[in-house]
Amino acid sequence: MQSFISETLDDILKTSQSFEDVVFILPSQRAKVFVKQEFKNKISVGFLPEILNIEQFIQQVSGVQKADSIQLLFHFYSIYKSVEKNVDAFDIFSSWALTVLQDFNELDQHLINTKDIFIYLRDIERLRKWSVKGTFRETELIKDHYSFLEKLNIYYDSFYAFLIENNIGYQGLMYREAVSKIDNYLSKNSTKKFFFIGFNALNKAEEKLFQKVLELGNSEIYWDIDEAFFTNNHQAGKFIRKYKTEWKYFEKNALKTIGTNFSQPKEIKVIGAAKNTTQIKYVGEVLEKMPSFANTALVLADETLLPITLNSLPKNISAINITMGYPLKDVPTTSLLFAIFQLYTSQEKLQKTTTNHFYYKDVIRFLKHQSVYGLLNAVDEFTAQIAKNNQTFITETDIEYLLKDEEDFIQSVIQNLFKPFISVADFINQILALIDVLKVNVNSLEKEYLFRFYTAFTQLKTLQTEFEYFTDLKTLSQFFKQLIDSESLSFQGEPLKGLQLMGMLETRVLDFENVILTSANEGVLPASSQQNSFIPFDVKVEFGLPTYREKDAIFSYHFFRLMQRAKNVYILYNTEHDVFGSGEKSRFVTQLEMMRTDVIQKIVSPKVVAQNSELKEVAKNEEVLKRLKEIAKSGFSPSSLTNYLYNPIAFYKQKILRIKEFDDVEETVAYNTLGTIVHETLDELYKPFIGKFLQEEDVATMQTKAEDLVVKYFKIEFKNGDISTGKNRLIFEVANRFVSNFLSKEITLLKDKNNQLKIIATEENLAAEISIDSLDFPIKLHGDVDRVDQLNGEIRIIDYKSGMVKGSELKVLDFEELRTKEQYKAIQVLLYAYLFTKNKKFDFSKNLKGGIYSFKNLNEGFLSINFSSNYRNPETNITQEKLEEFIVQLEKYILEVFNINVPFVVPVDLKY
């Protein structure tokens, strides 16, 4: 394969032997390296020509220095403030100013008379609001919009004048200035010969400049176009056909060079893959099979896939040259800086600036970022302490405690980040100081990241010192986010070695034998027709500005030019409809399939290996039995037994392995905390009346104390938690309501003078031992009964539940079905009843009931265990026979727990 550069140099060498006064002008910086390499292969000795990319040439002609986008934005804001009376804040200004600068750039590149276009825009808007009856109602928003459009020309003129005065500018201004200065430039360089190589779509300024240079007679232009696209009415040849027709130069000169490479035999595979990751993983497989990567290009139509591409390249790639930048938003340091901004954003949002308290999640996010975590010693201990104390907000003192054993320089830098900052410049200094500390113990790649941010913040500091446009941290934060989204980290590599990894625009002028193109989807290639501009589509057409139609033609040229000289082509696209690109392959791919008969199409998908999902199972051994015997000695509680019946694996983790639940800060009152608070409150209210008959006035007294006790137990159980506002306030009110509703029920009960209610016990710990024939050791059972009372001679075993319980859950018809019907609440109540009868040597001639008060179902009152299916005649008395039947069933469950041959297994139909 002879490349376009090689063909062009062969043609130039026929007429030019010396390159002393020759200038080569190319579309991209990348192409310059390949031209130099090709020269080295073709001439043994001699001087190279001056080789410039188009931007360098424009800068030479115009004499204007290019300013970066941040610098331009700040200067533009200065101009905006001098013109405008009611000035937007800098963060609001920057959200629209970048689009305005983009429009200014386009207008200048295409040499549009700005006064004409802005007056045209103004008149369109005036026509829109014009009405014969004068009934058009202008809102403030519409007025603002009209006013803004009418001022665009004033902004443009003032800004242009300012930039010329300072000899700096954006690309479009450099083009406009170059056109006005080209005659002067050519007269000074009359001995030079210019070669324009590999261009396609030119803006109006480039067209004028090129034609002016070509008029000299000794300069030439080489196009890279194939006959298949030039002679037919193909979109890829649109621009070059136009120049051939319109330029005077081509009236006397032939068009160089038209190739016939596209019709040569090629192996083209069009591959559909589900999702972007599958595409990239398949690319890895293709590259793995390649013997060599010389003359191979991996082109990413969607450049955002660079991070996953770099992680998916096979090990046999020893050298790689990347021409696109790595997006800064994907760099780990970015998340650290966002974490610092978040500290103060949340502080302001939660109104903690005066006290200088920080939200615990933001502090932990910052401390546990990989860069900071490796720097400090006591982060884990500190976060555990936060959870233990239930601290929602962290103070400066807490941070001082964390850093007490750290080195002085680390201590001061981290501590300063948590101190109230004086100004935005002071905050930027703190960030720069942190970067200084972080750079000490990092690898070379992380050092690159940190250096990139160091330069960015140094620039922001300089601009802030000069302009002071960041009035607060919020403005700086939003601007930083805008900056990060558009910036990238440049790679340095050996451009002529190994695999070439590039974006679509970087392929200009270059040719490769093996081409792999990813994301060839509609909406990516070409890009969607949405335009980010204040100039409407019809106005662009009227003034000859490029629209999405021209951009489509540009992409078409790049796509087909990439295929021209290639021998092996892999084109991949995403078949899924759930992402940008809609699962539809690019129209260019469809055109390619229609133009050639040798295109192979296929769909690929990852191998899916079927896996049988096995239930988690833990076998028992002697160690487990030893631990179970320890539990038998200390005692099984009703909740631990029902926990085993519900999920044996959870029982194994909690009781055998003794794994506790992870402590975390409880921002919102947890449901178990709410239950504990209600239980403790009722316990304290009823304790003074143990052994007494309760009177109506006793409960009335309880009602006066209830709220204070709820507050007291919230402070104990919900440490450092705020119950004054939000969700927690609602939960506090719920706890209050639970207690007050329960006491109201008691008063209603006692109003009937026939009712005699005696409190026997509250929160009483009961224990008993049972012997099982096949076990040579006793089993202790124990539990805390919420309340035992006597109502009209009947003993009641009562369990409080803060959740919803229905009477049907306590209907026990068959003891053998307790487990299968998941009657865990009934098991608990019956076990409490058993413990009570054993402890108190209960006389079964008295009636015994067991049941639940459900605070979410208080209207139902006391829900008793019921042994009858006849709802008209409930059987609620717990007899000795019933308890003996229950214990027989309970012994079966306990034997299962101790059976070494029965493993701990997750139930098949486990709900949660």
pLDDT band (50, 70, 90) for residue 408: confident
What integer is the mean pLDDT of 153-168? 95
Q: What is the pLDDT of residue 176?
A: 97
Strand partners for 690: 759
Task: Decide the pairing of beta strands 393-394 and 358-359.
Answer: antiparallel
Whether the CB-CB separation of 358 and 420 falls below 8 Å is answered with no
Per the listing, tokens 């009781």 go with 655
pLDDT band (50, 70, 90) for residue 187: very high
Q: What angle do CA 254, 260, 261 make, to 5 degrees?
A: 135
Whether the CB-CB separation of 588 and 521 falls below 8 Å is answered with no
Instruction: Give kind and range of the element (H or E) at residue 630.
Output: helix 622-634
pLDDT band (50, 70, 90) for residue 57: very high
* Selected residue with higher pLDDT from 834 and 29: 834
Q: What is the pLDDT of residue 578?
A: 63
Q: What is the pLDDT of residue 911?
A: 74
pLDDT band (50, 70, 90) for residue 448: confident
pLDDT band (50, 70, 90) for residue 148: confident
Contacts of 382 (CB under 8 A, 6+ apart): 367, 398, 401, 402
Q: What angle do CA 778, 781, 783 make, to 5 degrees?
A: 165
Q: At what angle do helices 548-564 and 587-595 cross, to 10 degrees?
A: 50
- Per-residue pLDDT for 632 more than 90? yes
pLDDT band (50, 70, 90) for residue 138: low
Q: What is the pLDDT of residue 575?
A: 92
pLDDT tens digits, residue range 841-893? 888 889 999 999 999 999 999 999 999 988 888 999 999 999 999 999 999 99
Whether the CB-CB separation of 505 and 366 falls below 8 Å is answered with no
pLDDT tens digits, residue range 239-293? 999 999 999 999 999 998 888 999 999 999 999 999 889 999 999 999 999 888 8
* Selected residue with higher pLDDT from 140 and 810: 810
d(CA 864, CA 874): 9
Residue 89 structure tokens = 């804040």
| One-letter-per-residue 3-state SS of 393-412 | EECHHHHHHHCCCCCHHHHH
pLDDT band (50, 70, 90) for residue 755: very high
What integer is the mean pLDDT of 812-837? 93
For 455-497, strand residue ranges (E) read: 488-489
Q: Which of 43-47, 398-402, 602-606, 848-852 has the highest mean pLDDT?
A: 848-852
Task: Decide the pairing of beta strands 50-53 and 65-66.
Answer: unpaired
Backbone angles phi, psi at 323, to 5 degrees: -100, -15
d(CA 327, CA 487): 6
Q: What angle do CA 622, 627, 628 make, to 5 degrees?
A: 95
What integer is the mean pLDDT of 751-779? 92
Q: What is the pLDDT of residue 84?
A: 87
Q: What is the pLDDT of residue 388?
A: 85
Residue 704 structure tokens = 């006066």
Rg of the chain (C-alpha set): 40
CA atoms within 13 A of residue 317's CA, in its CB half-sphere = 27
pLDDT tens digits, residue range 484-516? 887 888 877 777 788 999 999 889 999 999 999
Q: How many residues does the chain have?
A: 912
pLDDT band (50, 70, 90) for residue 651: very high
Q: What is the pLDDT of residue 292?
A: 86
For all residues of the chain together, what is the average pLDDT?
90
Q: Alpha-carbon dihedral of residues 426, 432, 438, 444, nearest 10 degrees?
A: 170
Q: What is the pLDDT of residue 581?
A: 52
d(CA 322, CA 304): 14
Residue 297 structure tokens = 């290009």
pLDDT tens digits, residue range 781-797? 999 999 999 999 999 99
Residue 354 structure tokens = 């005066």
Q: What is the pLDDT of residue 487?
A: 80
Q: What is the pLDDT of residue 377?
A: 87
State how far Cα 146 lies from the chain centre.
37
Q: How many CB atoms lie within 10 A of CB 735?
A: 26
Residue 232 structure tokens = 């037919």
What integer is the mean pLDDT of 17-28? 91
The DSSP secondary structure of 112-132, one letter per residue, reads --HHHHHHHHHHHHHHHH--T
d(CA 606, CA 232): 40
SS3 content of the chain, % helix, strand, coil (to 5): 55, 15, 35
What integer is the mean pLDDT of 638-665? 88
Residue 697 structure tokens = 């006035």
- Asked whether the bond before 257 is cis by omega within 30 degrees of 0, the reply is yes
- How many angstroms separate the first and last alpha carbons of the chain? 64
Whether the CB-CB separation of 858 and 742 falls below 8 Å is answered with yes
Instruction: Give kind and range of the element (H or E) at residue 864.
Output: strand 863-864
- Per-residue pLDDT for 211 more than 80? yes
Q: What is the pLDDT of residue 151?
A: 86
Q: How far is CA 265 from CA 177, 592, 598, 713, in A?
A: 47, 14, 8, 83
Q: Alpha-carbon dihedral of residues 414, 419, 420, 426, nearest 10 degrees?
A: -40
pLDDT tens digits, residue range 72-104? 999 999 999 998 888 888 888 888 898 999 999
d(CA 569, CA 572): 10
Per the listing, tokens 């500091």 go with 461
Q: What is the pLDDT of residue 144?
A: 73
